[in-house]
Amino acid sequence: MIGRNLKIFRTAATVLNFTEAAELLGMSQPNVTQQLAKLERELDVLLFRRDGRTVELTAAGRVLLEECGHLFALEEGILRKLRCAERGRRAYSLGGTVTAGSFLLVGMIALFQREHPEFSLRLKIDRQERLLEMLSAGELDLVLSEDPCVSPYFLSERYHLDRLLPFFAPGYLKEPSFPLGEHIRRGGRVLLSEFGSGTNLAFRRFLREHRLPEPEASQLTEASSTDAVKQLAQAGMGVALLSELATENELKAGVLAAGRFLEGEMTRPIDFLFAASGDQGFIGDFIRFCRRHKGISLRREP
């Protein structure tokens, strides 16, 4: 498995302080320095640039630190599979983007493991870009994503067509059904997840398809998380565009109200993504299981 020198490097490269790294590792500072020098000789590259008390990573050091993320995740996955095999279980890792992972995949994993206790499933929720890196590196077996993927390196199967609706604080609008174009022209505020997200892309595609005006910068608030967008809407800061999957609790609690756009329905696909080199037996079985239990997953029943 991964050598100790690489683990020492990762700690030192993260804190950029050999004394602090030594304390974290339970080693002496001279020993840490010696082990890092040995690693540099083995790799025949300079990993750190030292200038007095300042320590910086070289270009090679930055690359190695980035690759350490993949290597350590791969090692963890291998060890987990070995431990599961020893106990007679099969281990797989699944990934999901924020909405797909939090509101669909979590329930499916719980149902699947309840019916198939011989499997051990792990879930990673992250940005699609990071999930696809992990899928390519073999750290994930399957990804469920609401963000569009045009990469030719992955296969995909459609799972669900997600509806995006306008949400707002109760009483914020006189009518729950309204034209989005008119709302924008009158200077109404729009609350969205950050640029590049599946929701943001769907919103801009909807504007183009219906030839609607782009909101001015002063009308648009983009947040880094779904929870932040919901909180802004609850505070009466504008109309939020959210997945109906992600707002069930707020609607039940009465802190958000749902509407619809008179121009039409805004949707986005939620797809399974996987590599052709993956375990097609498990992938196919899990996708078929999810389709058989789709109604349960969308209601998120226990």
Q: What is the model's pLDDT at position 10?
A: 85
Q: Which single residue is written with the structure tokens 């390519």?
A: 136
If you ran DSSP here, which 8-state letter would residue 102 be given? I
**∠ Cα 182 146 131 (to 5°):** 140
Domains, the chain: 4-68 (1.10.10.10), 88-160+270-299 (3.40.190.10), 161-268 (3.40.190.10)
10-residue averages of pLDDT along the chain (302 residues): 80 88 87 89 90 85 84 71 62 91 91 89 90 87 88 89 94 93 94 86 93 93 91 95 91 94 93 91 94 68 42
In contact, 266 and 204? CB cutoff 8 Å: no
Residue 125 phi, psi (nearest 5): -105, 125
Nearest Cα residue to 270 out of 243, 302, 301: 243
Residue 141 has a CB neighbour count (10 Å cut-off) of: 22
CA–CA separation, 247 and 230 (whole Å):
8
- The answer to whether the beta carbons of residues 214 and 207 sit under 8 Å apart is yes
- HEC per residue, 184-211: HHCCCCEEEECCCCHHHHHHHHHHHHCC
Tokens of 93: 């890792």
Its pTM surpasses 0.85: no
Instruction: Quote the CA–CA distance of 294 and 103 in Å, as a whole number.
Output: 12
Contact of 121 with 108, CB cutoff 8 Å: no
Q: From CA 87, how far away is CA 76, in angstroms rounded?
A: 17
Spatial distance between the Cα atoms of 201 and 163, rounded to a whole number of angstroms: 14
The DSSP symbol for 174 reads S
Residue 134: the pLDDT is: 86
Determine the Cα–Cα distance for residues 105 and 101; give it in Å rounded to an integer: 5
Taken in order 130, 136, 140, 146, the sign of the CA dihedral is positive
Q: Are 43 and 3 in contact (CB under 8 A)?
A: no
